[in-house]
Amino acid sequence: MKMRYLKDVVSLELSTETCVGCGQCLEVCPHGVFELADGKCRIADRDACMECGACARNCPVKALKVKNGVGCATGILNAALGRSSGCCGEKQACCSGEDECESETEEKGGTMDARTRELIAIGASVAAHCQPCLAYHAEKGKEAGLTESEIREAISVGQMVEKGSADAMKEFAAGIFAAEAKSQKTPDCCKSSTPAGKSCCS
Amino acid sequence: MNSGRAAGRKNDMNGSFINGYVDTECCRVPRVSTELTWRDRLGGIAMRWDFGRDRYLVEPGLYAAGAPGPGAPVLVSANYKLSFDALRRELGSTDAWILVLDTKGVNVWCAAGKGTFGTDEVVRRVEATGLARLPGNPVLIIPQLGAPGVSAGEVRKKTGFRAVFGPVRAGDIPAFLAGGMKVVPGMRDVKFNLYDRLAVVPVEMVQRFWVTVMIMVLFFLGAGVGPEKYSLAFRRWPLIAVAVWSNFLAGIVITPALLPWLPGRAFALKGAAMGLLTGALLWLGSGYGLFEGSAVLLMSLAACSYLGLMFTGSTTYTSASGVRREIAWALPLQIIAAAAGVALWIAARWLPGGVL
């Protein structure tokens, strides 16, 4: 027997214009909420939705939106009282202490907007010499609305940091014998004898 | 790589299911037994009864089941031992790799809701175990209930591995693999049958046991309030104990068991129906007078309705929006019913013919 929870209460939203009819939501939904009709996804059984967020997380074009959370009274009451809750059982999805978490469709993150985050990631990718990271974040940056010149600038900032670090390394390497000579006199180099600007030999 | 170390026998729990090693180009992968020992089963029962849940973990890392050759699939799992045991038991003679993520000992679905069973953890674990060096570019099979946390597309993009969602139940995996990774109807849906509903009951019983004892003691103390003081209180105690534990059983065991047949969709309503029945039986069985009887009815109504509402967290189909709506109307009514019941129970002692 298929049980359904309350009528017309879930926050599931589908943008039919955006939907490309790939069927990924049909694949991940644990309650058969969706069906495909005329090459588009359709919400066939809205009341069966439990707001787990699997569809929104896996929709490649972000056509689905759901305020995902856990349908657990203990968790919701605890959150309302400012306590974090334990998992109340075994098979359920109840264990997140948070009252609710916005789904990925809203792009989770802190106080920064997506563009800033991607700019930082682009710069860091360059400095970290991570080619796949750079390709990935450049693409995500474009999605987030960055222009090509902005991405170029972030790359050059990363390169500047990288160059700075290379110079500092060169200087450090040149001074290594001097530091060694010093450290022989004072074996515990991590105390006061570390020259300013040089890293501790740990 | 580090998977050999990952499965290192820091404690017996980990060592007990490893029965050999599979050597690959990248590393020595510990092989797990696909048969559960009595200790595994005992551990599983202990989990159901809420003993040592926090420590029931498996070391994250790569494991082998059977003799996985080139192209054998990689089954992704959580490091809650009960989930891991269910998976290896169901594999039987299937040859596969098992990639255990670090979900802090939480099952796949819960961890996916929290995000610990998530895209990032999959990517991290794939890298940490050197999965790319396994022969034959294997497919990652992610349990479908991991989908709230894992985007298969992103895993594909970030790791280069093909990632597909497998069936909901571990028991369907051999059929899923044998059928060319095709999901047949019935493998995708989460069910909540009588066994599933009763499986979550013991934990609830254990977790509510001491609160119930405290409530009983409060009623014992309250029994002495009134014109006769405690001279008659002890005579009320047996009936109080029966009433308290009847509600405990009705609200925690019988409501879940009868869930589909109780009226309404709201759990507070289903619980309230159970409470009315329990209260009525207690009234009839005890021979309480009008006031005391209605007091018991009101308090049973409140208790079972509340326990029903609390059961939402143990189900597989309630939504947060729905539970929030239900709490908003049900909780105030439950509090009013309980308060009215207690007041009437006490007041009955001053009313003519009120008490037994």
Counting one residue from A and one from B, how many pairs have CB atoms under 8 Å apart? Answer: 180
pLDDT band at B298 (very low <50, low <70, confident <90, very high): very high
Q: What is the C-alpha separation between A39 and B296, in angstroms, rounded? A: 58
Q: Which of A9, A74, A77 sits opposite B319 (nearest CB)?
A: A9
Q: What is the C-alpha separation between A93 and A31, in angstroms, rounded? A: 14
- Residue A172, classified by CB atoms within 10 Å of its CB into exposed (0-12), middle (13-18) or buried (19+), is middle
- The verdict on a CB contact (< 8 Å) between B203 and A104 is no
- Nearest chain A residue to B196 by CA distance is A91
**How confident is the model at residue A92, as a pLDDT?**
34
Q: Which residues pair with A41 in a beta bridge?
A: A36
- The verdict on a CB contact (< 8 Å) between A27 and B145 is no
Are the CB atoms for B166 and B143 separated by under 8 Å? yes
- Residues (pLDDT < 70) of chain A are 1, 83-111, 179-202
**How confident is the model at residue B148, as a pLDDT?**
92
B30: CB partners within 8 A, 6+ apart? B3, B4, B7, B18, B20, B21, B22, B63, B64
**B215 three-state secondary structure:** helix
**How confident is the model at residue B353, as a pLDDT?**
63
pLDDT, greater one: B151 or B188: B151
Choose among B114, B16, B14: nearest CA to B57. Answer: B14
Q: Among A91, A98, A140, pick the best mutation site for testing chain B contact (most B Cβ within 10 A).
A: A91
pLDDT band at B37 (very low <50, low <70, confident <90, very high): confident
Which residues of chain A lie closer than 8 angstroms to B253, CB-CB?
A: none
- The verdict on a CB contact (< 8 Å) between B320 and A96 is no
- The verdict on a CB contact (< 8 Å) between A136 and B157 is yes
Strands B28-32 and B61-65: parallel
pLDDT, greater one: B112 or B228: B112
CA B36 to chain centre: 21
- The verdict on a CB contact (< 8 Å) between A93 and B110 is yes
Tell me the range of A59-63, B112-116, B190-194, B288-292 where mean pLDDT is highest.
Answer: A59-63
Has residue B145 got a pLDDT over 50? Answer: yes
Q: How many CA atoms lie within 13 A of B235 on its CB side?
A: 9
Has residue B259 got a pLDDT over 90? Answer: yes
Q: Chain A 26-45, CB below 8 Å of chain B: which residues?
A: 27-32
Q: How far is B181 from chain A (nearest CA, A)?
A: 13
* pLDDT tens, position by position, A106-137: 344 466 778 888 899 999 988 888 888 888 88
pLDDT, greater one: A82 or B124: B124
- The verdict on a CB contact (< 8 Å) between A71 and B153 is no
CA B157 to chain centre: 33
Q: How far is A167 from chain B (nearest CA, A)?
A: 31
C-alpha radius of gyration, chain B, whole number: 26
**B74 three-state secondary structure:** strand
ipTM of the complex: 0.80
- B36-55: average pLDDT: 74
**How confident is the model at residue B282, as a pLDDT?**
95
**How confident is the model at residue B18, as a pLDDT?**
78
> What would the two tokens of residue B82 be?
């009960």
> What would the two tokens of residue B187 be?
């493998």
- B292-308: average pLDDT: 96
- B27-40: average pLDDT: 80
Lowest model confidence (mean pLDDT) among A163-167, B22-26, B75-79: B22-26
Render A61-99 in DSSP notation, one character per residue. Answer: T--EE---B---HHHHHHHHTT-------SSSSTT-SSS
- Dihedral of the CA atoms A138, A140, A146, A147 (nearest 10)? 50
Choose among B118, B120, B66: nearest CA to B97. Answer: B66
pLDDT band at B15 (very low <50, low <70, confident <90, very high): low
**Cα dihedral across residues B326, B329, B331, B333: positive or negative:** negative
- The verdict on a CB contact (< 8 Å) between A92 and B266 is no
**How confident is the model at residue B356, as a pLDDT?**
55
- B70-97: average pLDDT: 88
What φ, ψ does residue A43 adopt, rounded to 5°? -85, 110
A53 touches chain B (CB under 8 A): yes
Q: Which of A27, A30, A50 sits opposite B319 (nearest CB)?
A: A50
- The verdict on a CB contact (< 8 Å) between A77 and B314 is no
- Nearest chain B residue to A79 by CA distance is B324
pLDDT band at B81 (very low <50, low <70, confident <90, very high): confident
Choose among B29, B265, B274, B277: nearest CA to B131. Answer: B29
The number of residues in chain B equals 356
**How confident is the model at residue B272, as a pLDDT?**
97
- B33-61: average pLDDT: 77
Which residues of chain B lie closer than 8 angstroms to A70, CB-CB?
A: 113, 313, 320
Q: Which of B312, B315, B320 sits opposite A100 (nearest CB)?
A: B320
- Mean pLDDT of all residues belonging to chain B: 86
